[in-house]
Structure 1
Amino acid sequence: MTASTATTADTFRPALHYAARNTWLNDPNGLIHHGGVYHLYYQNNPMDNVWGNMSWGHATSPDLLNWTEHPVAIACDEKEDIFSGSIVFDRNNSSGFGTATQGPLVAVYTSAFKPSSVHHGIQAQSLAYSLDGGYTWTKHTNNPVLSRGSAEFRDPKVFHYDGAAGSYWVMVAVEATDFQVVLYKSENLKDWELLSSFGPANATGGVWECPDLFPLPVDGDPENIKWVLVVNLNPGGPNGGSAGQYFVGDFDGTTFTSFTTVTEGTQDPARLAEYQWLDWGRDYYAAVSFSDAPDNRRLMIAWMNNWQYANEIPTAPWRSPMSLAREISLHAIDGTLRLAQHLALDLAAVSGRGPVFELEEASITSETLVHDGAAGSVQHIELTFTPGTAEEFGLLVRSDGTQGTRIGIRPADGRIFVDRRDSGLADFHESFASIDSAPLQPIDGSYQLSVYVDHCSVEIFAQGGLVTLTELIFPLATSTDVALYATEGTATVCGLNLTRWA
């Protein structure tokens, strides 16, 4: 099949996820809730559907589901590409970019300087500001505001710290090839002072990028606050290519101290599975959280692609979607602090919702089609399995009897996996066809899955979101069946609820 035909593009364009209209996108940038809407900025090539000409694209949404694409927000020019960064609402106008009555939005981004710039060869942090709620931007005349003379210093995430150490802005950025997170402080977003650094630690199989640092209550207890440091890396993920890891610890306003570091210095390859991963799938990268989300919720979006094959996925004229927005929470489980993730938006509001299909308790002895009423290409499937004698059990989505995406559990191995070798178009790149897995243990003897299927993706939340796997797929338009299966024995599905939109 020809992957770049208009028919294919229409077939794969997501219904539930954001994708640019006709250009390339990658890392989410500048996520903020402001003026009653969610702002999603992102790395964008406004001139093509492959990486290049890095600028900040822009989309807004009232609900994290229905997105409106806007003109390019911050454009590259002859001197710089606009790499990843973040946005803060400078409500007290500490930067001086606003007025006595109007605080500005301030974007802190990485300038990747080109040969025509006096800063050629380095990456440094720069500012732009907006006085109209984030729709038009002016670059600061004295950029860059922070340089280390480094070619790999990038991806600033800025937040306002208020604690025992004082009240000031904190920047979390990376020295990418040194596997190091560097922290700075500022009173005005223009003048920065080094606080500390963190790393190398845990996964260092690829450059460190797109850090984030934020507080979360443990099990919802406001008296027990811990800090989460997210560090994305490429390559070096648990199933190959791009991925995101996290550390849990304390931040005293100067230094982040991790409780969950497994490996100091560079990684031990034998311990890769022990590290804490945001997502075990192949297509969840550059994840960062929103500033100023309502009700103090910690909401996160990632780029749904993998640098191994990102420029070659079979979509046109657009290329790459974003993940669905997730709410992040922190829990103490068996003596370990772990993140859990669940969908942060209301899918009941999606237009075109079809009938809900339900299946009560049933034994699975072989591959069994659930029902004609369950077929579809955009679905949410909730189900619970209890193991029996089967070596493996699970479900197939976007299936036609001969191909499909297999989501399986092997209890003896303690693993859940996604097999996309027969998921449709899978030969456009040598590394795409894959079996990707994650550790998974039963809770009270059962396995609970929540699966979101879109035209080109599956997002799997297992055991209440303690384990997630996100995968791109490119199925045939005729592959819409859902099936349950068990091999070498039996298993039981204790309940299945399926909602479909297409």
Structure 2
Amino acid sequence: MRMNFRRSTIIMIFIAWVLSFDTMAQVKEGIYNEKFRPQIHFSPPSKWMNDPNGLVYLDGEYHLFYQYNPNGNTWGPMHWGHAISKDLVYWQHLPIALYPDEHGMIFSGSAVYDENNTSGLGTAENPPLVAIFTYHDSEAKKSGEEDVQSQGIAFSTRGRSWTKFSQNPVLSNSGRPDFRDPKVIWVNNKWVMSIAVKDKIQFFSSPNLINWTFESDFNPEWANYEGVWKCPDLFPLTLPSGEEKWILLVSVISGGPQKGSATQYFIGDFDGKTFTTDLSQIRWLDYGADNYAGVTWSNIPDADGRRIFIGWMSNWYYAQKTPTSPWRSAMTLPRELKLIGTDKKFALKSSPIDELNKLRKTSQYKYGSVISLEEPLVELELVPELNDFSISFSNIKGEIVTLNKSGDDLSFDRSNSGKVDFQNGFGAVHHVALEGLDIYQVQIFLDNSSQEIFINGGQVTLTNLLFPNESYDKVTLQGFKDKFTLHYLSSIW
């Protein structure tokens, strides 16, 4: 069985290698004009993409790796696709970085800059980038085994070509069916790994990224457990007062606020071994249906100081059925995460990064309650005048999507937004309980197949896919101040 797996793996690697160069050629030929193709969001040239992986900054470049199936536009044998950017706005596609091997597929994980060469996989003069990822042994899974996931590493000097560690896996499994998605950070002169284990997060530590020691579990009884826990991310944030708190992101494959997958977060303290939280209720990073498995970039320079996040803009409830071809899926806009609040009433704020202002092609003030849109790529900045308000986008086919505030309820209605029949429930109306939040600003980014809404600069966010048969060309407002700002945006491709 192992020999057959090795043979099939070699064949898959060769096919993927050929396809990776083919997709780069397709970008040069300008294929990014298909119906529903995102123009201000990252998407692969073709085939299937899901979770962002290995987010790391080095030498002026942001690396974005991602779960990728080069053989089709539904989920399949997982590789790490790869792209780089100098500003998180415009992206350059690179060949596939990591391929399946005799240990299994390459599931989600992270990447770090081993500045002190603790791993010994580089040199003092050329410290390595180290990717930490989950192996998923599909052959063992078919045989009925449970401990099919383990953790491996690979290393690179510049992030262009990668060498897998010869003694993989570095962290074996001991009978756990879900043991996945390692996110690694340098804390208190050691490496700390957060890893999802079905319904908990486990923390491990290592001096060298190779030898790992178990530290603790985290699974408060009140958290969301409707879906398997995945894609953790542990990092510190500092309040304007100087107080530091630790954030733990945990994605769930189902049970999110709008059905299906989503990301919950916890705020607390971390002593290098144990995470404890100040919260006692579920908090969601995004209240739309389509922001999942997001994590943050490592090694961003201290001079910058931001914690920058990106998520997979889809939902496992219907991700493999969305009406797009030859690609499927996109990433959210990059966002800066900030900690706000006082007296232990803390919350995460998720704001579009400033670099996105580069996309503004023209900017103009608009007046009135009904305006025509001359182009499909739009950013709106609005100020509510009344406690209750609504904004709708519509087209000549009568398709419409509406954001409505009524009392303490904020709703998003995509039931007649365009193509909705590919999955029962896609066209549902989404509701968010505002819990007394006073809304003073609404910012909306509209792409060919998505809408991202930021309330009060990101105190509440809603990310949702849309598939209108014609571009929305009219905006209708109620309850907003008469004057607002409209930006037409340029494509990142």
Query: Which bin holds the TM-score, normalised by the shorter protein?
Result: 0.7 to 0.9
Structure 2 regions of 5+ residues with no counterpart?
1-29
In structure 1, distance between residues paired with 2:101 and 2:261: 28
In structure 2, the residue matched to 1:455 is: 448
CA deviation string 1:256-288 (max 9, x = no partner) = 0100133xxxxxxxxxxxx21000110000010
Cα deviation, residue 40, structure 1: 0.3
Q: 2:208 aligns with which of 183, 188, 193?
A: 188
In structure 1, distance between residues paired with 2:477 and 2:454: 17
CA gap of 1:463–1:348, structure 2 versus 1, over 3 A, is closer
CA gap of 1:71–1:217, structure 2 versus 1, over 3 A, is same
In structure 1, the residue matched to 2:363 is: 356
Q: Is residue 295 of structure 2 the alignment partner of residue 292 of structure 1?
A: no
CA deviation string 1:279-308 (max 9, x = no partner) = 011000001000012322100000000000
In structure 2, the residue matched to 1:397 is: 393
In structure 1, the residue matched to 2:15 is: none
CA gap of 1:194–1:446, structure 2 versus 1, over 3 A, is closer
In structure 2, the residue matched to 1:309 is: 318
CA gap of 1:93–1:228, structure 2 versus 1, over 3 A, is same
Alignment of 1:233-244 (within 5 A): 233-244=252-263
Is the contact between residue 65 and residue 345 of structure 1 (CA under 8 Å) also seen in structure 2?
A: no
Counterpart amino acid of residue 381 in structure 1? L
CA deviation string 1:288-335 (max 9, x = no partner) = 000012322100000000000000101100100000100000011585
In structure 2, distance between residues paired with 1:316 and 1:437: 30
In structure 2, the residue matched to 1:269 is: none
CA gap of 1:312–1:9, structure 2 versus 1, over 3 A, is farther
In structure 2, the residue matched to 1:428 is: 422
Is the contact between residue 382 and residue 480 of structure 2 (CA under 8 Å) also seen in structure 1?
A: no
In structure 2, distance between residues paired with 1:120 and 1:111: 13
Counterpart amino acid of residue 468 in structure 1? T
CA deviation string 1:466-492 (max 9, x = no partner) = 10000000112243222214xxxxx34
Is the contact between residue 193 and residue 203 of structure 2 (CA under 8 Å) also seen in structure 1?
A: yes
In structure 2, distance between residues paired with 1:80 and 1:401: 48
In structure 1, the residue matched to 2:111 is: 87
Alignment of 1:195-214 (within 5 A): 195-201=215-221, 202-214=223-235
Q: Is residue 481 of structure 2 the alignment partner of residue 493 of structure 1?
A: yes
In structure 2, the residue matched to 1:270 is: none
Specify the SS of the correspondent of 2:481.
strand
Cα deviation, residue 442, structure 1: 6.5
Specify the SS of the correspondent of 1:311.
helix
Structure 1 regions of 5+ residues with no counterpart?
1-5, 263-274, 363-367, 486-490
In structure 1, the residue matched to 2:58 is: 34
Cα deviation, residue 23, structure 1: 1.3
Cα deviation, residue 398, structure 1: 4.7
Cα deviation, residue 494, structure 1: 5.3
CA deviation string 1:152-185 (max 9, x = no partner) = 10000001002xxxx1000000112xx1000000
Is the contact between residue 376 and residue 398 of structure 1 (CA under 8 Å) also seen in structure 2?
A: no
Q: Is residue 228 of structure 2 the alignment partner of residue 227 of structure 1?
A: no
- CA root-mean-square deviation: 2.2
In structure 1, distance between residues paired with 2:308 and 2:401: 28
In structure 1, distance between residues paired with 2:442 and 2:486: 12
Cα deviation, residue 456, structure 1: 0.7
Question: 4+ residue runs of structure 1 moved beyond 3 angstroms?
Answer: 6-9, 116-121, 398-401
In structure 1, the residue matched to 2:370 is: 369
Specify the SS of the correspondent of 2:139.
coil
CA gap of 1:193–1:425, structure 2 versus 1, over 3 A, is same
In structure 2, the residue matched to 1:337 is: 346
CA gap of 1:461–1:446, structure 2 versus 1, over 3 A, is closer
Identity of aligned residues (%): 39
In structure 1, the residue matched to 2:7 is: none
In structure 2, the residue matched to 1:266 is: none
Cα deviation, residue 248, structure 1: 0.4
Is the contact between residue 114 and residue 121 of structure 1 (CA under 8 Å) also seen in structure 2?
A: no
Is the contact between residue 32 and residue 45 of structure 2 (CA under 8 Å) also seen in structure 1?
A: no
Is the contact between residue 79 and residue 114 of structure 1 (CA under 8 Å) also seen in structure 2?
A: no
In structure 2, the residue matched to 1:100 is: 124
Counterpart amino acid of residue 335 in structure 2? R
In structure 2, distance between residues paired with 1:463 and 1:439: 15
